[in-house]
Amino acid sequence: MTNFKELQQTDREIYDIIKNETRRQQEELELIPSENHTSQAVLEALGSILTDKYSEGYPKKRYYAGLRFYDEIETLAQKRAKELFKVPFVNVQPYSGSPANQAVYFATCKPKDVTMGLSLPHGGHLSHGWKVNFSARFYNPIQYGVNKKTNLIDYDKMEELAQKVKPKLICVGATAYPRFLDWERFYKIAKSVNAYLCADIAHIAGLIAADVHPSPVPFVHIVTTTTHKTLRGPRGAMIMVTKKGIEKDSDLPEKINRAVFPGLQGGPHQHQIAAIAVCLKEASTNEFKEYGKQVVKNCKVLASEFIKLGYDLITNGTDNHLILIDLTNKNISGKEAQDLLEKVGINVNKNAIPFDQNPPSNPSGIRLGTPAITTQGMREKEIKQIVKFIDNVLKNRNNNAIIESTKQEVKKMCLNFPLPGIK
């Protein structure tokens, strides 16, 4: 753990909590696919003096004095994102993924406009029109879903639905969908109804940067993403406008800028933007490309090993960094499995499966993935052992001796793979 000398003296309680969390992260397996470990360089930028200053506005168009170096930081972050994702416009100010998506709605739609997004129980995201979210309260969302037999997105039904409701905006992206998305098919559907098409690549941005996942950029108008998850940066977000987006609406970049500020946010978090710039530089390296390849390799092994042991995987495999397991045939719920595995230091998350008969608080599935453990350096050998850990615990859920011995084995494995942000 980095030596926080001043924090130790000023607030020992917070210091001790951070110390305990650092130890927990080092001694446990992080298999939640939306989580990752940042580099020491990202952490240093995030914890810098840049947090001290307000910088409302955009580079060269600020409302405060003393911001010349902040302009350099934000411009550099924009430049790196443009080069990495091959887009002509980027806004790096959104505080996180949901605010970024909110800005897209704000820029492209009016209240009560019809929108479309993948249903949350079918692997979508809250901010794509789910009923409890802002995207449903202020707009008129129509949800598309997956085929009941294949659990793959039903593009034909989606197209029929789009032709019927004529959405202003179509959101494409997922939080629990283990397969490639057909960007070209989505584009044809959006074009046929003259809708804006936004790809939310929060989960797969790092895989796209590493060239191991198809990019939506040639086919969509807008791209949103968080900057953590597979991109391995700080918690933040970006909104990108593509060449197709500018062709559809030449004012779209300015609409996005106005939606973020002053539409929805005040001063951007420049320490966060600096850390984003660092992670974008890291993501442009050959080392990161190898990381992305290994994430997918590890996840495919994860899937195949579970299938060998008789687990039901949604779509029967994966193309990306995550898998979704239906535990019905194992006679254990997702919540029970999550809580049991946490006892031995293996973190997964309970997750609904498509057409789940159980409530969201106690769904039938678990979601797990390989971004964080791959960052630590784990490879196929460790993945196979992790699957054995999980299977042994779930089979022997009432055997305290096995639970305790597995906990010790997990800890031993983790200590052989130090976290990158610990010195």
How far is residue 332 from each of residues 227, 340, 361, 366, 407, measured CA to CA in Å?
34, 10, 14, 10, 20
330 flagged as catalytic:
no
Give me the catalytic one of 62, 80, 168, 229.
229
H or E segment at 198? strand 196-200
The whole-angstrom separation of Cα 394 and Cα 246 is 51
251 flagged as catalytic:
no
The whole-angstrom separation of Cα 269 and Cα 20 is 27
54 flagged as catalytic:
yes
How far is residue 169 from each of residues 145, 161, 320, measured CA to CA in Å?
16, 13, 26
Give me the catalytic one of 225, 226, 318, 370.
226
String of b and e for 174-203 (b: at least 16 CB within 10 Å)? bbbbbbebbbebbbebbeebebbbbbbbbb
- Nearest alpha-carbon partner for 181 in 128, 245, 260, 239: 128
Give me the catalytic one of 235, 243, 297, 397.
235
391 flagged as catalytic:
no
| Neighbour-count burial of 144, counting CB atoms closer than 10 A to its CB (0-12 exposed, 13-18 middle, 19+ buried) | buried
Q: Residue length, the chain?
A: 423
Q: What is the CA radius of gyration of the chain?
A: 22
Give me the catalytic one of 44, 53, 54, 409.
54
235 flagged as catalytic:
yes
200 flagged as catalytic:
yes
Give me the catalytic one of 56, 113, 159, 380.
56
Could you give the residue numbers annotated as active site? Answer: 54, 56, 200, 226, 229, 235
